[in-house]
């Protein structure tokens, strides 16, 4: 039985193996995909952070979305803002350019390694509060659309970096220390700052979902 306790005010979040597993992720996918279709959408971007539970959870999530009849565009292991970016710009997919305005990022955010969760954008707007509780009720009531959506992987990182580099010009040369705490932002942050012409001192910029050096909380 799915736990209502993981359906928070602004996201869905739980402890993997206790309140969150692949069956839960699949149910969330089916419910969210059904809501996308109810609002006239037909596709969802998915992404994940570097936690060890991420691959299984995002796989089950994608299965649920496709079972609800929506296409899945998987942008891989990227920071949450990159997932949101992918749901706000045209994507050059195999079938041609397409806008996908819904997104789910599988991320535990600033929580310990055994946590994971889901941050969601539905038809261009982040969902929260009653909308998240409505997903829970849809799962419990098994009110799902059915279908067979497609699946495609897409690398959006270059497009994201190009957008920022096109918008920002540093006023002077900068030397930065980048400490990513082995979180998902490390590799992309170093690429971005180097593209902006910055000199970097890198600390823990490789992704390791066990967070062996320190907790990757930006606060």
109 is catalytic: yes
Catalytic residue among 3, 5, 109, 150: 109
Which string of DSSP letters, residue by residue, matches the chain? ---GGGB-SSSEEEEBTTTB-HHHHHHHHHHHHHHHHHTT--EEEEEE-S-TTHHHHHHHHHHHHHHTT-EEEEEEE--HHHHHHHTTSEEEETTEEEE---EEEE--TTS-TTEEEEEEEETTEE--THHHHHHHHHHHHT--------EEE---HHHHHHHHHHH---SS--EEEEE-TT-THHHHHHHHHHHTT-EEEEES-S--TT-SSS-----
Q: List, by residue number, the catalytic residues.
A: 109
């Amino acid at each position: 039985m799915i736990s209502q306790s993981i359906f928070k005010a602004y996201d869905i979040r739980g402890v993997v193996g206790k309140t969150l597993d692949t069956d839960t992720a699949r149910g969330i996918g089916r419910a969210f995909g059904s809501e996308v279709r109810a609002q006239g959408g037909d596709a969802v971007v998915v992404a994940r952070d570097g936690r060890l539970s991420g691959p299984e959870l995002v796989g089950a999530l994608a299965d649920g979305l496709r079972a609800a009849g929506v296409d899945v565009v998987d942008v891989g292991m990227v920071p949450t803002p990159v997932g949101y970016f992918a749901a706000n710009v045209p994507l050059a997919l195999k079938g041609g350019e397409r806008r996908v305005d819904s997104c789910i990022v599988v991320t535990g955010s600033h929580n310990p390694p055994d946590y994971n969760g889901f941050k969601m954008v539905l038809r261009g707007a982040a969902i929260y509060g009653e909308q998240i509780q409505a997903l829970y009720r849809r799962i419990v009531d098994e009110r799902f659309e059915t279908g067979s959506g497609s699946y495609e992987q897409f690398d959006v990182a270059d497009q994201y970096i190009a957008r920022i580099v096109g918008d920002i010009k540093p006023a002077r040369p900068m030397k930065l220390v980048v400490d990513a705490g082995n979180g998902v932002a490390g590799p992309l942050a170093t690429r971005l700052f180097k593209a902006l012409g910055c000199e970097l001192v890198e600390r823990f910029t490789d992704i390791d979902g066990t967070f062996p050096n320190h907790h990757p909380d930006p606060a």
